[in-house]
């Protein structure tokens, strides 16, 4: 804390990992040698830069840009870009730290990184968004490359923004490498990448439910957020027979006791992805209930999939969900549950998966996009989806193996942290003190 003042999210993520790792390190003291833990919590490189762009009124705007290159131990730095006014060094350092373990869990050769800006895309015209992305890329291009650092999307950075950034990086570097993942299908994107994080999260929850002899059929599900991860979580949960009751955004929650249908989801996607609207606009178009200023966690459900942002589900929310009989919580977002909420779920025997395990499907499919670009081939939808399912099942298996308690129950937090850590730590030790 002394070395990283005013970085609460980063300290929160490190604390969560270190608390669960400690018993493992005591049993395997070689992992504490050569200041390995101290090296692991320090990003290899942090780039901070100015982004200047001109708005539609001719005013010059200045934003902060960042790229955190946390670890190259296993492969090129890899992790998304986030554009949101809440972006700070602390938020991106926590995300890059978590990403390093998540990427290790996928078993694909990817290191960990994250980046972004405090730019707020809300209310900006399409031309402003393009100019901002190009200005951001005019500095980012120096630091990225297919074998160095391969960014992707995250909050506020979807297919449109990835396209603008990739276009400018290519122009400035004069190389058509795989500079970003999450690209459009017309210029090197992978089928299933848009769906991958949401689908992957539901696949992971399905594996967890199987351990209790259950499936999604007939279960009530709440999803928070209404962006990329949320939309495809809704789609897959519905496909598996669940009734999805909620989605949300920062202004409030949709509560639909009838449950989502493919037709309603298509309207949500149109409102969010084409019109850049709010869930209240979706409510106005469909007539479903919208509760302003509240989060979805008071709604009784069997499965909760928090898929918006960090710390959106606190201890009180966890207690409410437990009182209402929740069976399984799988994180689609990164660190949406506070550390206290996560512990409360585990103590109550709820199946609880941390994002670094349950939302790893997005980056895993980005890894598959990198492979396809490298061999200059595109795989079919079925092929990529089957690989995604296999990767999620494998991560689930590894979490069970490393997270099994003496009484036979499983801590997915411990399992994910130990398995991810051991892989990164072994790679670091093999490459010496660098």
Footprint on this chain of ligand NDP (rule: CB under 6 A): 84, 86, 153-156, 158, 197, 225-230, 249-251, 307-309, 312, 332-334, 359, 362
Q: Which two tokens stand for residue 77?
A: 């730095």
- Closer residue to ligand NDP, CB minimum distance, 306 or 415: 306
Strand ordering across the sheet containing 112-117: 45-54, 60-71, 112-117, 77-83, 149-152
- Closer residue to ligand NDP, CB minimum distance, 31 or 204: 204
Q: Which residue has the tokens 């980063």?
A: 10
Q: Which residue has the tokens 């949500």?
A: 268
Torsion, Cα 39 9 94 361, to 10 degrees, reads 140
Listed residue (133, 126, 125, 128) closest to 157, CA to CA: 133
Listed residue (241, 192, 208) closest to 367, CA to CA: 192
Integer-rounded Cα radius of gyration of the chain: 21
Shortest Å distance, C-beta 153 to ligand NDP: 5
Helix (H/G/I), strand (E/B), else coil: 433: coil
DSSP tag of 147 = T
Could you give the CA distance from residue 115 to residue 223 in angstroms, rounded to a whole number? 25
Cα atoms in the Cβ-side hemisphere of radius 13 Å centred on 25: 16
- Closer residue to ligand NDP, CB minimum distance, 20 or 224: 224
Residue 306, phi then psi, degrees to nearest 5: -70, 120
Shortest Å distance, C-beta 165 to ligand NDP: 15
- Closer residue to ligand NDP, CB minimum distance, 75 or 156: 156
- Closer residue to ligand NDP, CB minimum distance, 189 or 332: 332
Give Cβ neighbours of residue 430 (< 8 Å, ≥ 6 apart): none
Overall size of the chain counted in residues: 434
Shortest Å distance, C-beta 430 to ligand NDP: 28
Shortest Å distance, C-beta 186 to ligand NDP: 20
The kind and range of the H/E element at 246 are: strand 243-249
Shortest Å distance, C-beta 223 to ligand NDP: 10
Strand ordering across the sheet containing 328-330: 289-292, 252-255, 243-249, 220-223, 303-305, 328-330, 351-353
| Residues noted as catalytic | 114
- Closer residue to ligand NDP, CB minimum distance, 243 or 272: 272
Shortest Å distance, C-beta 301 to ligand NDP: 18
């Amino acid at each position: 804390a002394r070395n990283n003042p005013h970085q609460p999210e980063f300290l929160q993520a490190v604390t969560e990992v270190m608390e669960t790792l400690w018993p493992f390190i005591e049993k395997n003291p070689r992992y504490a040698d050569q200041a390995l833990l101290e090296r692991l919590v320090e990003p290899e490189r942090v780039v901070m830069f100015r982004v200047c762009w001109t708005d539609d009124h001719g005013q010059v705007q200045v934003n902060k840009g960042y790229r955190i290159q946390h670890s190259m131990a296993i492969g090129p730095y890899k992790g998304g870009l986030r554009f949101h006014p809440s972006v700070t060094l602390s938020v991106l350092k926590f995300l890059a730290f978590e990403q390093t373990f998540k990427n290790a869990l996928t078993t694909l050769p990817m290191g960990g990184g994250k980046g972004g800006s405090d730019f707020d895309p809300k209310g900006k015209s399409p031309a402003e968004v393009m100019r901002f992305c190009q200005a951001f890329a005019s500095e980012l291009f120096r630091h990225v490359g297919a074998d160095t650092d391969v960014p992707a999307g995250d909050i506020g950075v979807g297919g449109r923004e990835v396209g603008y950034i990739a276009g400018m990086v290519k122009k400035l570097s004069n190389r058509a490498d795989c500079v970003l993942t999450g690209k459009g299908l017309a210029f090197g994107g992978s089928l299933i990448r848009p769906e991958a994080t949401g689908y992957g999260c539901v696949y992971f929850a399905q594996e967890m439910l199987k351990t209790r002899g259950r499936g999604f059929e007939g279960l009530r599900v709440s999803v928070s957020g209404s962006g990329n991860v949320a939309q495809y979580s809704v789609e897959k949960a519905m496909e598996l027979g669940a009734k999805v009751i909620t989605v949300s955004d920062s202004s409030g929650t949709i509560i639909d006791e009838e449950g989502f249908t493919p037709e309603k989801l298509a309207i949500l996607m149109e409102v969010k992805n084409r019109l850049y609207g709010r869930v209240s606009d979706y409510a106005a178009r469909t007539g479903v209930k919208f509760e302003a200023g509240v989060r979805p966690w008071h709604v009784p459900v069997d499965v909760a999939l928090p898929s918006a942002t960090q710390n959106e589900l606190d201890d009180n929310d966890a207690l409410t969900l437990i009182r209402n009989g929740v069976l399984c919580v799988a994180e689609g977002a990164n660190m949406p549950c506070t550390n206290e909420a996560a512990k409360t779920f585990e103590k109550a025997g709820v199946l609880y998966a941390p994002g670094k395990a349950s939302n790893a499907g997005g980056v895993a499919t980005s890894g598959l996009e990198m492979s396809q670009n490298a061999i200059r081939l595109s795989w079919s939808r079925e092929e990529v989806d089957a690989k995604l399912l296999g990767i999620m099942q494998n991560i689930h298996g590894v979490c069970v193996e490393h997270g099994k308690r003496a009484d036979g129950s499983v801590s997915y937090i411990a399992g994910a942290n130990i398995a991810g850590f051991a892989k990164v730590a072994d790679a670091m030790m093999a490459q010496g003190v660098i």
